[in-house]
Amino acid sequence: MARWNKLNIRVIRRVLGSLVMIEGAFMLTALGFSWYYGSDDFNALLYSAVITILAGFVIRLFTRPKVQEGIGKREGYVIVSFTWVIISLFGALPFILSGAIPSYTNAFFETISGFTTTGASILTDIESMPEGLLFWRSLTHWIGGMGIIVLSLAILPILGIGGMQLFIAEVPGPTPDKLHPRVAGTAKRLWGIYLLLTVLQTGLLMFGGMDFFNSLCHTFGTVATGGFSTQNTSIAEFSPYIQYVIIIFMVLAGTNFALHFMVLSGRFKDIFKNEEYRYYLKLLFAASIIVAVLLILNTETSNEKAIRDSLFQVVSITTTTGYVTTNYMAWPSFIWIFLFILMFTGGSAGSTGGGLKAVRQLMILKSTAVEFRRLLHPRAFIPVRLNDKAVPRDIVSNIFAFFILYMLIFGFGTLIMVLIGLDFDTSIGSVIATLGNIGPAIGNVGPVDNYAAVPDIGKWFLSFLMLIGRLELFTVLILFSPKFWSE
């Protein structure tokens, strides 16, 4: 039986209420674009923001913390998991109240897809959406990219609540890199880097002829590795310059943010000493070359466009951004099958990217190589090393457990989607694209399609996959363990 008395409900309510209020404040920023463009979503955005702020205030009411009251591991897991659900529930209000997405299932799907930076959409005509709603839709990416939890760490000390457990539960990857002795300092540095990338990309896109609104929305989708676009054709209609800028920033967004901090600190030599980063770049380069060569040999695409499209799609899929410049399902089948395999990769740990993460893939390869050496030298002690340091066995075990669980969820999820009525290609595509927070996939949820035709029960299940994929599986699934509540 659940043992809620073991949880500090006062702290949980206080943090959740504060985060919901912050979400409402973010929602207000969309009003400026709604007013400027004269769109008919102003009232819906205003009412949604007011409702959200008031709801957060009510949740937070009468929760003044006791002296030295902090957040334990259990509270951290509950807060992180429940936050993403709650902010998605309220984040769907603008779509509902405006009538742009009348179905709450569809509105919730679109919203949690934004906050989890998945980019899977149910919209069939994006360009007909009011600008205020489009901005809010893209802003959910930007908030979710680094995580509203990490954002709150910069202000939680003001509330009298420590946040290290939230940081451990939220930051993507197996081991978060601390950039500052205090977690609030780490959060500020992460957000400083995030803001810098946002400003730089917005400026470069505007330099290429894109207006401020579209530059901002596409920047949000890039630095957050989200993929929501304001255009029905995603990035396909934009100039090669725009596409190359987005490629560069997708690579940067999929890079461990600790390495960005090294660059800003002048530690350039340390960057390429990082084995995960070298593996990440080699994967992107090798996969892009393979796809480009196959395109040039098997299609009539010009060399430059073949290279650009190959580079864009490989980077977009590997970093789990999900932008597209072409219908890769129209390419020869062996090429899009190769791209499907890339959907099991992901960005670096400590980045805004989803998926398995590059460091886990590298550790699995290293562990496999070590096992071969142990067969030849059974009495030798041969540790698995990363960046010239021996990796503890418990971390290696955790990585293999994560990989096995990831693949089991993929298989089980595919079975569920087939039973719901989807064909096999669409089933495997929708599951890996949501679990890996990628967005477009293969089958009927490919680059020129969307998730509108997926049955409602399927959308709720895929929403759950987005959530556990964004929060690294264990953070959410541990809540389903009886021992979590009983011990």
Q: What is the pLDDT along the chain (487 residues), one digit of tens a residue?
A: 445 557 778 888 888 999 999 999 999 999 999 999 999 999 999 999 999 999 999 998 877 665 456 677 788 888 888 999 999 999 999 999 999 999 999 999 999 999 999 999 999 999 999 999 999 999 999 999 887 657 555 544 444 445 555 555 655 666 555 556 666 677 778 888 999 999 999 999 999 999 999 999 999 999 999 999 999 999 999 999 999 999 999 999 999 888 888 888 888 888 888 899 999 999 999 999 999 999 999 988 899 999 999 999 999 999 999 999 999 999 999 999 999 999 999 999 888 888 999 999 999 999 999 888 888 887 777 888 888 888 888 888 988 999 999 999 999 999 999 999 999 999 999 999 999 999 999 999 999 999 999 999 999 999 999 999 998 888 888 888 888 877 6
Task: Note the helical H segments in 319-455.
Answer: 333-342, 358-376, 393-420, 424-435
Q: What is the pLDDT of residue 159?
A: 42
In this structure, is residue 429 part of a structural domain? yes
Q: What is the pLDDT at residue 261?
A: 85
Q: What is the pLDDT of residue 388?
A: 84
Structural domain includes residue 367: no
Tell me how far apart the alpha carbons of residues 308 and 216 are, in angstroms, rounded to a whole number: 23
Q: Which residues contact 453 (CB under 8 A, 6 or more apart)?
A: 444
Q: What is the pLDDT of residue 464?
A: 97
Q: What is the pLDDT of residue 191?
A: 85
Is 118 part of any domain? Answer: no
pLDDT at position 2 is 46
Residue 405 domain-assigned (yes or no): yes
Residue 385 has phi, psi (to 5 degrees) of -115, 145
Helix 333-342 and helix 303-318, axial crossing angle in degrees, nearest 10 = 30
Q: Give the count of domains, the chain.
A: 1
In a domain, 226, yes or no: no
Residue 274 in any domain: the answer is no
263 within some domain: no
CB atoms within 10 A of CB 374: 13
Place of tokens 């660059």: 263
Domain that holds residue 400: 392-486
Within a domain: 315: no
